[in-house]
Amino acid sequence: MKKTAVILVSGGMDSALTAAIAVKRYEPAFMHFNYGQRTSCGELKAFNDIARYFKVKKKLIADIGYLKKIGGSALTDRNIPVEEADLNRKSIPKTYVPFRNANLLAAAVSWAEVLGAQKIFIGAVEEDSSSYPDTTKKFYKDFNRAVKSGTKKESRIEIVTPVINMSKKEIVIQSYKYNSPVHLTWSCYKSNDIACGECDSCALRLRGFREAGIKDPVKYKKNIKW
């Protein structure tokens, strides 16, 4: 029997590929977060569709709406507009949700400890991911240390990041290799129905597909060549 692993699935392409990699070796326990993000409906639909695709038996949707109360990000505060994409931007974009991934991981570790799961998969990407500090390898290494000291000795929980070194182009290529359900994923930061095609997340995705020489199965409102 396969061991259980907790897999964080936002509904985007990175986490879908991460799930496709994880299910090869582990029985998946899918976890999703609602934090009052603009695209929570689009993401939740993608999460449920991807879970169905992988025939996932254990699912947990955690509400961390306090991140919306805290605000400080264009993803959670309607008064901060989502910037148009700038793939050469050097600063941290306004869509950065302060320390968001630590909030997701802490909850995932709590669930893993109760389930007896020793691995937690997260689809963080260091290079391509708009320089958010909580998507760096250094952060995951440090967080893993805190997981080790903050949980029961026998729990032996570890966070793993199988796509952290990939470019978006590589993620597209690997997604098809691993039969990830790319057509079910949701990446857009702005809309819940048809992807906008002009936010950072759409732009990164579209450029990745173009560089991989593959056509994105998802529809866009605007067809900009990124």
The answer for residues whose C-beta is within 8 angstroms of residue 99's C-beta and 6 or more apart is 134
| Shortest Å, Cβ 7 to its own copies | 15
Q: Is 1 or 114 the residue whose CB approaches its own copies more closely?
A: 114
| Shortest Å, Cβ 69 to its own copies | 6
Query: What distance in Å separates the CA atoms of residue 131 and residue 142, rounded to the nearest whole number?
Result: 17
Q: Is 61 or 87 the residue whose CB approaches its own copies more closely?
A: 61
Q: Is 134 or 216 the residue whose CB approaches its own copies more closely?
A: 134
Please name the residue that has the structure tokens 């990041």: 161
Q: Is 113 or 216 the residue whose CB approaches its own copies more closely?
A: 113
The answer for residues whose C-beta is within 8 angstroms of residue 19's C-beta and 6 or more apart is 7, 9, 28, 30, 50, 54, 121, 123, 180
> For binding to its own copies (CB under 8 A), which residues are involved?
60, 62-67, 69-72, 92, 96-103, 105-107, 109-111, 113-114, 133-134, 136, 138-139, 141-143, 145-153
Query: Hey, which residues does 119 pair with through a beta bridge?
Result: 5, 158
| Shortest Å, Cβ 106 to its own copies | 4
Query: What distance in Å separates the CA atoms of residue 128 and residue 190, rounded to the nearest whole number?
Result: 19
Q: Which two tokens stand for residue 170?
A: 């590589």
| Shortest Å, Cβ 176 to its own copies | 32
| Shortest Å, Cβ 62 to its own copies | 4
Q: Is 92 or 194 the residue whose CB approaches its own copies more closely?
A: 92
Ramachandran region, residue 13 (left: φ > 0; alpha: ψ -120 to 50; beta: rest) = alpha
Query: What distance in Å separates the CA atoms of residue 19 and residue 158, rounded to the nearest whole number?
Result: 16
| Shortest Å, Cβ 209 to its own copies | 30
Query: Hey, which residues does 33 pair with through a beta bridge?
Result: 62
Helices marked H in 159-220: 168-177, 200-212
Q: Is 112 or 188 the residue whose CB approaches its own copies more closely?
A: 112
